[in-house]
Amino acid sequence: MSNIEKIKNAIAARDIDAMLITGGVNRRYATGFPSSAGVALVARDASYFFTDSRYIEAAKKAIKGMQVEIADLKTKYTDRINSVIEKHGIKTLGVEEEVLSHRDFIKYEDKLNASLVPAQSVLNDLRVAKDEAEIDKLIKAQRLAEKAFESVLKLIKPGITEKEIAAELIYSMLRLGADNVSFDPIVVAGEKTSLPHGVPGNEKIREGSFITIDFGCRLDGYCSDMTRTVAVGKITDEMKKVYDIVLQAQMRGIEAARAGVTGADVDAAARDVIHKAGYGEFFGHGFGHGLGLEIHEAPTASPSGKTELPEGSVISAEPGIYIPGKFGVRIEDVIVIRKNGSENITKTTKELIIL
């Protein structure tokens, strides 16, 4: 079933006549077409995509199952939308209240001949559970990122800087065919590994230190995400101990993950390992987050994740221990939630890599 058909079915189950999709990510979900401008309108019995002259030719070639029309100075977006409203007798029009700006809401409320209804949940609920085609795209993005990681590992040695490693990662992923990075890579070494979201700097890698490398790429719209903490030269017994604790916590969380359990339950399984080892105060973030067309999306696997994880949802598995002024460790994989467990789509070794 296409995403357009999924949206139509979801609209039919809600008290709205159609869905106006203005956010870039949700436009991509609905149409499969990436663009910085455009509006999708999905009614119960028809669907449309309007865009400007920059994208109209490409959109007509790429988008299937929707009527594609141009919006310009002569026939504005609101004109196109109103023509569909009139043609299909639309009275209530769902909008994305989480992404629609106040200015645009006021404009649409003034110009459109239908009542606007907050309906972000229509799209959120659909996107949280991935179908196998989406999961395949996530796997391909992950494989590409892993190849880049393998190539960059060969370049890491004392004297190279954090920024240089980050730059090599970006270049390698793009060279291998990525559309873009999922986010700016986090590459931090030494004491900076205690910063969960540290920024790569000009610090040089030194013997006896950890390097935390958190990165991902976009491929066909979908994101990969992984973190590995690697060692350069001989490390202390405490560093090895903390690494092993984080690995045990991650594996315990992955073992707990399956459809029907809450994200908070998965988080608790991993957090308990770290707490019992005496490092509970040094694990401040959640076990994981959802990812797909966005690097952070629903569902969440954290203490606040009170809803059950649906089959087909995809989450990161990334517990960590961060000791200020000393070092930190994070290990991150991506898992698909299945009926009776989870599928780990990350294949890079989690044994401590010592360079």
DSSP 84-150: HHHHHT--EEEE-TTTS-HHHHHHHHHH-SSEEEE-HHHHHHHHHS--HHHHHHHHHHHHHHHHHHH
Q: What are phi and psi of 39, to 5 degrees?
A: -140, 130
Tell me the per-residue pLDDT of 150-199, one tens digit each, with 9 for 90 and over: 999 999 999 999 999 999 999 999 999 999 999 999 999 999 999 999 99
User: Which pLDDT belongs to residue 15?
Assistant: 87
User: Which pLDDT belongs to residue 158?
Assistant: 97
Tell me the per-residue pLDDT of 162-176, one tens digit each, with 9 for 90 and over: 999 999 999 999 999
User: Which pLDDT belongs to residue 257?
Assistant: 98
pTM score > 0.85 for this model?
Answer: yes
228 falls in which pLDDT band (50, 70, 90)? very high
1 falls in which pLDDT band (50, 70, 90)? confident
Domains of the chain (ranges plus CATH)?
3-127 (3.40.350.10), 132-344 (3.90.230.10)
145 falls in which pLDDT band (50, 70, 90)? very high
Share of the chain above pLDDT 90, in %: 99
Strands lying side by side in the sheet with 341-344: 297-301, 288-290, 314-317, 333-338, 341-344
pLDDT, the chain, mean = 97
Tell me the per-residue pLDDT of 91-106, one tens digit each, with 9 for 90 and over: 999 999 999 999 999 9
The average pLDDT across 69-78 equals 94
Distance CA 222, CA 182 (A): 8
User: Which pLDDT belongs to residue 180?
Assistant: 98
Q: What are phi and psi of 325, to 5 degrees?
A: 80, -5
